[in-house]
Structure 1
Amino acid sequence: MSVASVFSETYFGSSLPQYLLFFTVVGLGAVVGRALSYLYRRRLKKRAAATRTKIDDLLLRSVGRPVVLLGVIGGVALGREVLTPVEPLRSVLNASIRIPVVVALAWIAVRLTDGFIGTYVEAYTDRTESKLDDELVPIAGRITNIAIVTTAGIVVLDSVGYDVTAVIASLGIGGVAVAFASRKTMADVFGGAHILATKPFVVGDTVDIDGTAGTVEEVGLRTTRLRDFDGRVVTLPNAAIAGAEITNLTSEPTRRIKTFVGLPYTTTPAEMAAALDLAAETAAAVDGVDAERTGAWFWDYGDAALRIRLEYHIEALDRWKAVRDRVNRDIQAAFADAGVELTAPVGRVRIGGES
């Protein structure tokens, strides 16, 4: 066989010179991709760093490495035009273009997602007090990347001739099974996202959640931890919190205190009026009490005493117990100095039907 016949012979529909030209174009595409990558590293990256916005930096970082692959793909696409392929080479060439394009686009999308989260989202979550968003953001990023890679994989399978309908159906069935098995976990995760979005409380707040009161120590992905007033750690699932009645005690500007004082039935109206004034004035004089919102009233006739209702508002919420204690002590001392008699609780014992 002569050299001329070798060059004129066709292989899968194309001659040897056509193949040589094809690979030359592919090589040129790779060179162009490398040149663009060099331009990115040497020139564009520096210019992007000099601008105020971070979007251009993010875009350049995302396409920096895949650009070489895109150059090769462009070379294959152009080089294919010089060939006259027959099956199965035509299908192989078409797939060799579609598959790398899908891979390159998925690669860029994943890098964009990671870059956006690292540049913008994590910078925001670092400024918040809650730890929940710090846990949710990486999970959201991984879920997004898995969705991108899964979609790219389905497109690649379709490009090589697989029936993707069965694949999608199996993924759907598997997703339903996983969702059913982890429904409680997912409910807690969505409950945590609800807490993050609505912000009924933040770490450090004192809250009452359906009767469970304490200071919020941590808002996690699945649970929220409180430390109650006895110093115990209470862990609540986020799904339960999302549907619970929440009272944020930290948000109140003051804490209202209501208490009752009993005077004997021998107390005269003048003595009652003096006792009311003395109780209100004594409470208002205590440091940490809002004097403008303090009052005492002759409330009702008890079984064994004339009852005075004292009401005041504590402004110093961080030491409200100490302020309440001081009010009670000062009123006791003031009544003793003024000779105001207080009644003792009366107990009744029933014996044989008579009390």
Structure 2
Amino acid sequence: MMEDIAFGEITWRQILFLLGWVVGAMLLGKLIQLVLNGMGKTKRFESRPWVLVAFKSFSRPIPFLFLTIGLRYGLQTLSFSDGVEEIIADCFGVLFTIVVTFFVYSMVDVIDHAITHVTKKTKTTMDDMMAPMVRKSLRVVIVILALVQIAQILSDKPITSIIAGLGVGGLAVALAAQETIKNFFGSLVIFADKPFELGERIKVGGHDGTIEEVGFRSTRLRTLDGHLVTMPNGELANQMIQNIGKRPYIKRVMNVTITYDTPPEKVQQAIDILNELLENHEGMDAEFPPRVFFNDFNDCSLNLLVIYWYHPPEYWDYLKHANWLNMELLKRYNEAGIEFAFPTQTLYVNNTEVGLQHGAT
């Protein structure tokens, strides 16, 4: 007979009954998961994507929940000693804690979706980093609380004593992780102060590039050479940051040098040509008119100082305009016979006649 074949006090029938509970519960859990996912994809929820996220998040732990339930009720058909029963009870306490943690951990996706939906409506891109940081923070807290609960179940100690022990251990960890804590608070300072946003170009610590990511510990900067630089937030928060991405214009200061033998009329003509080229130039703002001055006598040239501002600060458009200005200036000066100066030296040699008197020997 089937029931006469046994392993100790457990018969084949009891084992098959246990497997039936486990497999049946898993199949039922998978079926409920598929039903919930299908409900979230129905047309009536197309305009509410958060509903689909909620259904998916809620359905994710269900197979594991039903597996735990099936295992629990399947084992109730078996007979164990009191010591084994206590161990099984503790194990199921841990399993149900994991199930609850899994549910809460998954539902964080709903909060993440809501925060992402709000941050997409803001103008600043810095807020876009808030959603993943909040998601990670919540999940870390959930896991820590779950571990505390599991420690209480396994140790049979009150939660207050466990928290007190964690406080002592946390102090030791805090002393050993001072840099990590410093970087964490540095990231909070960056998010509060917002010295830059994602995608903006900055100069900091000798590096020049665009911001790719801001995390709890570090910020990633993609340099103009294509290199990825990771900077700890604790140090970044204390450094001087030059935000090139927030400049309202590009200012150009150029020194046009002409030769010293240029007569005053030609100097004035050189100034007039520059003023003519820059009058109502591309990218000009009426509040920032160009400036041209004969401002200095250099060692080897007469210096014409040129200052103008290009709006908006689109770098490649600015370079195209600078290229056009340089070419036109070279052409106009050549036509006008105005010579550009370059470093030269003139040597004056004083020839002295030396008379030799030859005497008799």
Q: For 2:135 and 2:327, how far apart are their aligned partners in 1?
A: 54
Distance 1:214 1:122, change over 3 A: same
In structure 2, runs of 5+ residues without a counterpart are 1-20, 46-50, 73-81, 347-361
Aligned length: 293
For residues 262 and 72 of structure 1, do their structure 2 counterparts lie closer, same or farther at Cα, with a shift above 3 Å needed?
Answer: closer
Letter in 1 for 2:149: A
Which amino acid in 2 is paired with 1:145? I
Structure 1 308/133 Cα, relative in aligned 2: closer, same or farther at 3 Å? same
C-alpha change, 1:181 and 1:218, in structure 2 (3 Å) is same
Which of residues 175, 187, 192 in structure 1 aligns to 2:182? Answer: 187
**Counterpart in the other structure of 1:328:** 326
User: Distance in 1 between the 2:266 and 2:34 partners?
Assistant: 92
Q: Counterpart of 1:156?
A: 153
Q: Report the more deviating stretch, 275-284 or 185-194.
A: 185-194
Which amino acid in the other structure matches residue 336 of structure 1? N
Distance 1:46 1:301 in 2: 79
Give the superposition deviation at 1:335.
1.6
1:245 partner SS: coil
- Cα deviation for residue 156 of structure 1 reads 3.0
Contact kept in structure 2, 1:260 and 1:309, CA below 8 Å: yes
| 1:110 CA displacement | 3.2
CA distance in 2, matches of 1:41, 1:148: 26
SS state of the match for residue 332, structure 2?
A: helix
**What is the DSSP-based 3-state SS (H/G/I as helix, E as strand, rest coil) of the residue aligned with 1:309?**
strand
The corresponding residue for 1:337 is: 335
Q: Is the 8 A contact 2:57 2:110 kept in 1?
A: no
SS at structure 2 position matched to 1:259:
strand
Q: What is residue 105 of structure 2 aligned with on the other side?
A: 113
Report whether the alignment pairs 1:248 with 2:237. no
1:167 maps to which residue?
162
TM-score between the two structures when normalised by the length of structure 2: 0.58
- CA drift of 1:273 comes to 3.7
Provide the rounded CA distance (Å) in 2 between the counterparts of 1:247 and 1:151.
45
Aligned residue number for residue 308 of structure 2: 312
Q: Which amino acid aligns with 1:290?
A: M
Which residue is 1:295 aligned to? 290
Deviation of 1:165 after TM superposition, in Å, equals 4.7
Alignment of 1:59-74 (within 5 A): 59=58, 66=65
Higher mean displacement: 253-262 or 320-329:
320-329
Q: Output the CA distance in 2 between the equivalents of 1:134 and 1:319.
A: 35
Distance 2:279 2:222 in 1: 33
Q: Could you tell me which residue of structure 1 aligns to residue 196 of structure 2?
A: 200
Task: Specify every segment of 5 or more residues in structure 1 that has no aligned partner in the other structure, as ranges.
Answer: 1-29, 74-88, 349-355
Q: For the residues of structure 2 that align with 1:206 and 1:42, how far apart are their CA atoms?
A: 46
CA contact (8 A) 1:279 1:296 kept: no
Please give the alpha-carbon distance, in whole angstroms, between the structure 2 residues aligned to 1:233 and 1:48: 40
- Counterparts of 1:345 and 1:219 in 2: how far apart (Å)? 49
Instruction: Determine the C-alpha separation between the residues in 2 that align with 1:61 and 1:44.
Output: 10
Q: Secondary structure at the match of 1:226?
A: strand
Tell me the residue number matched to 2:137.
Answer: 140
Residues 218-262 of structure 1 show CA distances to partners (whole Å, capped at 9, x for unaligned) of 656534233246x66544333222222222223334311011224
TM-score for the superposition, normalised by structure 1? 0.59
Shift, 1:149, TM fit: 0.9
RMSD: 5.1
Q: Which runs of 4+ in 1 moved over 6 A?
A: 36-39, 42-45, 67-73, 98-103, 127-135
Q: d(CA) in 2 for partners of 1:280 and 1:291?
A: 15
